[in-house]
Amino acid sequence: MRNLKVTMAFRGTRYHGFQRQPNALTVQEVVEEALSKLLNEPVAIQGCSRTDTGVHAKEFCFSMQTEKPIPPRNFIRGSCGYLPEDISILSVEDMPPEFHARFSCQAKQYMYRIHNSESKNPFTTDLELHYRRKLDVELMREAAQHFVGTHDFAALCTNCTEKQTTIRTIYDITIEKEGDTVILLVKGNGFLYNMVRILVGTLLSVNEGRIPVSELEALLESRDRTRAGITAQAHGLSLYRVFY
């Protein structure tokens, strides 16, 4: 039995996230059905992460098993005939039996894109958050550094349970401006539900003067979701890189 590591990219606009749901179209459902047709056998995939409705992925890994000896090139080319235009297989690798896309993952990096202009960009309406207020990038960079390191991120989590550990480590946050686009990259060892989107919403609140930078440490220590910013819209978010 072969154990494969498959890397794909997808535009999440028309999907209710990655993971299968009984009454909604998801990326997992579409990919499993496509690969089952390609390999002529039932295929179940294990994703590296869950994604919310409307979230995209530039690099998303999943593991799967198959008896078929299909070469990686044929796997990639063949999958194109069964997958829709908003999902693409990028690479296929044979891995040891113990490899698992989720549990073998060491770190992930998310990207959040903001179109910062009075006018909306008709070419990126489902890929970037349209934000009209002027962004103080230097202020946002200063604020972002308060989240770097190992912290209890309960204040940046939606629907966290008492039994769930909310301690995570963020290795790096970078914020760059390219024309009218502001790009945030957040790399960490793991992320809570909505954590990156709430982090972005909190930085926007800092930009608007609603949350002073001086209060960010106390915000984290409070573990109080109501003290953080809004949950930024999903369509600006992409899973950017996965590290093994």
pLDDT at 194: 96
Residues 114 and 177 in one domain: yes
CA–CA gap between residue 169 and residue 151 (Å, rounded): 6
Please check whether residues 136 and 233 belong to one and the same domain. yes
**pLDDT value at residue 160:** 81
Mean pLDDT, consecutive 10-residue stretches, the chain (244 aa), reads 97 96 95 97 96 96 96 96 97 97 97 97 96 97 98 93 85 97 97 97 98 97 96 98 97
pLDDT at 58: 98
Q: Which of residues 47, 75, 95 is at a domain's end?
A: 95
* Domain with 67 in it: 2-95
Are residues 143 and 224 located together in one domain of the fold? yes
Do 176 and 58 lie in one domain? The reply is: no
pTM: predicted TM-score of the whole model, two decimal places? 0.94
Q: What is the CATH number of the domain that holds 205?
A: 3.30.70.660
pLDDT for residue 163: 60
Question: How far apart (Å, rounded) are the C-alpha atoms in residues 182 and 185?
Answer: 10
> Considering 38, 64, 95, which residue would you say is the last residue of a domain?
95
Domain holding 23: CATH number?
3.30.70.580
> Where does a domain end: 95, 124, 156?
95
Identify whether residues 199 and 127 lie together within a single domain: yes
Q: In terms of domains, do 228 and 121 share one?
A: yes
**pLDDT of amino acid 29:** 97
Total domains in the fold of the chain: 2
Task: Tell whether 76 and 174 lie within a shared domain.
Answer: no
Same domain, 130 and 237: yes
Catalytic residues: 52
Report if residue 218 sits inside a domain.
yes
User: What's the angle, vertex CA 111, arms to CA 195 and CA 45, rounded to 5?
Assistant: 80
